[in-house]
Chains A and B, each alone.
Chain A
Amino acid sequence: MTDRAVLIGLDGATFATLDPLMGEGVMPFLKEFLASGVRSELLSVIPPLTPPGWASLVTGRTPGNHGVMDFFRFESPDSRYIRLVDSRDVKCETIWSIISRQGLKATVLNFPLMTPPRPMSGNAVPGWAPWKHLPRLCSPQELYDKIKAVPGFNVQELAMDLQLEGKAIEGSSKEEYEDWIHLHIRREKQWFEILRYLMQEDPCDLTAILFDGIDKLQHLLWRFIDPDCVPTHPSGWERRIRDLCLDYFRQLDGLIAETVAMAGPEASVFLASDHGFGPSTEIFYINAWLHRQGYLEWAAGAIEDTSDAGRLGLGMISRSPSMVDWSRTTAYGLTPSSNGVHIAVAGRRGQHGIDLKEYERVRSVLMDQLYQLTDPATGGRLVTQIRTREEAFLGTRMDMAPDLTLSIRDGGFVSILKSDVVLKPRPEVVGTHRPEGVFMARGPGIRQGRSLPALSIIDVAPTLVHSLGLPVPSDLEGRVAAQIFEPASFQARPIRVGEPTQVPEPFPQRRDRKEDKEGEAQVLERLKQLGYVE
C-alpha cells in the first residue's frame, strides 16, 4: 500500500449507464481500470441526494449525525423558513480536516459544502459556489489568482451559474441540449486543467476532484443515455444528441485516464458517486394529495404547476413556506428533493399545528393513508416505503429531519407544487436519483478484477484515511472496506483505530484571507464609495 491517494468523484454515476458505455468502447480507460481494480455498488444515504451523499462520503457519518439531509435546512430549530445548506451545516469532521490535523495535505476541487471555507491544509476550490464569490471562497484565498492563469479559465462556466444550473432541474428547451452538453464538456476540462496545475505545482497526499456533469446530463437527457430508453429508430436530431452524450462520457474517460496517469502507479485511486440514477416517468404531487386529505391548505401565493416538468427550481424552493396557510395545515412537503413530509406540531415552528400528544397517532394514520394511496388507473401503490425520522435520521441532528421520508414507485422525487391532479405521467422520461451509486478502486495492495458486494457510502472516508496510512477515527460510522485489499497486503498493514474526530467550529477564524494581507486601502476606498467616509 501507499501513502498517496486520489479520489475522483463522479456525481450521480451508476453502473446502469457506465457498464454499457464501457461495453460499447466509449469509456475504454474505465474498463481497463476495473480489469486491474475492484468495483462495487456504493449504497447512498436517505435521501440519495447530492448534499447528504457527499457529506456522508467525506465524513464517514450518516445524515442524522452530520446534519445535511437535503439541499435546504430550516433556518433555525424554531423557524419554518429554509435556506441552502453550506459547510457550516456539516456538523462532523471531514476527511480534509482529519488528514490535515495529522500533518497531511489535500487538494479538493469542486466538492459541494466547501463554502464558507473550513480550516484545512492544502488547496480547495469549492463547488456550488456562485462565480462572483469564487475569489474569496478559494482556500487559501490567493489560490484564485493562480487558477485564473490556468489555460482556458472561465469562472462563469467553472463555478455555479444559477441560470445554467436551473436547466438540469427545471428543464430546458430542446434547442439548448447541444449547448448544454458542450458546456459540461468544457466545464469538466476546466476542472481537470486546475487539477493538472495543482498536481504539478503543489502535489498533495490526497487529491480529490468531483466531475458533476454526469448528474446534470442524466437528469435532463436520461432518455438519450440509458440504452433501455434510446429510441429504436432515432431521428437525426436524437442521434446527434445521443452522440454528444457519448462524447461527454468519452472525454470524461480521457480526463480520468490522465488524472490516474498523473497520480502514478504508487497512488491508490478511488472513484465514487454520491448516488445512482434511473428513469422517472411520473409526477406525484404530495402537497396536492395532503390538501385533498385535509392536512394542508394552500396560501394565496401557492405556486401552481403549469409546466409539464412538475419541477421547482432551486431559487423558488426557498419560497415554499409561503405556499402554505399555516393556520390550517398539519402536514406538508417542504422541498421536492427531500421526499419528506413534515408534521406541524404546535409550538415547534410557530403556534399552529397539532398537539404534541397527538403526534404519534397523526403520524401513524398519515403513514397508513400514504401506503393505501394507489394509482387509479392501475391500482398500484404509489408509495413503496415510508421511513420515520427515527428510522432515516437517527442521530444528534434528527430534530431537523422530516417526520416521514417517502420512497415512491418510480424512484423519483415528489413535486410540492399546487396541482389539480395527484399523479401525472411525465411527457418524456427524465433521469432521477437512485440509492445505488458506484465505487471503484485500483492501486498497490488492492485486488484486481474483482466485483464485490455493495459498500456503504460512509465506508469511503475510513477507507481513504486507512489508505493514507493514518489511524481511523474511532467515531466514524463507516468501516474500512477491508475486502477491497489483497489479504496479505491488508494483514501487513492492519487497521489502526485513532482518536475520535473533532467537532467543527461553527465559525472558525479564517487565517488565509487575502484582504487581511492587503491592508485597508481598498476597504477605505469602498467605504468612500458607500458615502460614509470622506
Chain B
Amino acid sequence: MVGVTREQIVADLGKIFNDTMGDWEYSGEITPETRLFADLGLESIDIVALGGAIEEHYRRNFPFAQWLAKMREQQVDDIRVKDVIQFLQDNLKSSLVRESQ
C-alpha cells in the first residue's frame, strides 16, 4: 500500500463511483461536498456495498462499521464524498505505519 496519496485515493474513488453508478437515475455533478444520502439517494445498504467495493479495490478491510457508528454518535446526518476520502486517507496512512513497524 506504499505510495497511496490523496490524489490517488480521489482517482480510485472516482473509478469506484464510475463502476457502481451505471444504472442510477442520478446524473448530477459529484463533488467533494456531495452527500451520499441526501444527494445521491443512497440507503445504508448501498453504503455497505460501496464499502465492499472500496475494500475489493484496495484488497484490504477498513473499519467502516466503527466509522459509521462514530459518525452517528456525533449526530452527523449525512456522509460527504470528502469524508470518505479523508477516512480512506487516514486508514491507508495508519496501515502504512503498521506495515513499516
Contacts and interface: CB of A to CB of B under 8 A. Distances in A.
Contact of A322 (B11, B15, B46, B73): B73
B4 interface: no
Nearest to B25: A132
Interface in A81-131: 81-84, 86, 88, 115-116, 129-130
B72 A136 contact: no
B38 interface: no
Given A130-B46, A132-B46, A530-B10, A507 B56 contact: yes
Interface string B62-73: 011110110011
B94 interface: no
B43 A162 contact: yes
A109 to B, nearest CB: 19
A76 interface: yes
Interface in A389-404: none
A81 B60 contact: no
Interface string B41-61: 011111011101101100111
Interface stretch (A49-57, A425-433, A462-470, A520-528): A520-528
B72 to A, nearest CB: 7
B43 A531 contact: no
Contact of A531 (B20, B32, B42, B69): B32
A526 B59 contact: no
A322 B23 contact: no
Contact of B20 (A136, A319, A507): A136
A87 to B, nearest CB: 9
Interface residues of A, number: 45
Given A75-B66, A81-B69, A507-B59, A526 B17 contact: yes
Interface in B29-47: 29-32, 42-46
B52 A79 contact: no
A28 interface: no
B77 interface: no
A75 B63 contact: yes
B45 A315 contact: yes
A529 interface: yes
B24 A132 contact: yes
B45 A530 contact: no
B22 interface: yes
Contact of A155 (B13, B23, B60, B66): B23
Given A136-B53, A526-B14, A515 B23 contact: no
Interface residues of B, number: 42
A251 interface: no
B7 to A, nearest CB: 7
A133 B49 contact: yes
Contacts of A530: 10, 13-14, 17, 30-32, 81
A513 interface: yes
Given A76-B63, A526-B30, A532 B53 contact: no
A162 B60 CA distance: 26
A116 B44 contact: no
B99 interface: no
Contact of A82 (B7, B10, B15, B65): B65
A506 B42 CA distance: 27
Contacts of B101: none
A133 B20 contact: yes
Given A86-B52, A116-B56, A132-B42, A515 B18 contact: yes
Contact of B45 (A76, A116, A162, A523): A162
Given A82-B65, A162-B43, A530-B10, A132 B60 contact: no
Given A135-B23, A155-B23, A531-B31, A84 B48 contact: yes
A493 interface: no
Contacts of A136: 19-20, 22, 53
B32 to A, nearest CB: 7
Contacts of A318: 44, 65, 68-69
Contacts of A319: 69, 72
A255 B20 CA distance: 32
A321 interface: yes
Nearest to B27: A529
A41 to B, nearest CB: 33
Contact of A529 (B20, B29, B66): B29
Contacts of B11: 523, 527, 532
- Name the 9 nearest CB pairs between A and B, nearest first: A507-B59, A81-B65, A527-B14, A526-B18, A133-B49, A83-B65, A81-B66, A135-B22, A526-B14
28 contacts: A75-B63, A75-B66, A79-B66, A81-B65, A84-B45, A86-B52, A115-B49, A129-B49, A130-B43, A130-B46, A130-B49, A132-B21, A132-B23, A132-B24, A135-B20, A135-B22, A136-B20, A136-B53, A137-B49, A155-B23, A318-B65, A506-B59, A507-B55, A507-B59, A522-B18, A526-B18, A527-B14, A532-B14
Interface of B: 7, 10-11, 13-15, 17-24, 29-32, 42-46, 48-50, 52-53, 55-56, 59-61, 63-66, 68-69, 72-73, 81
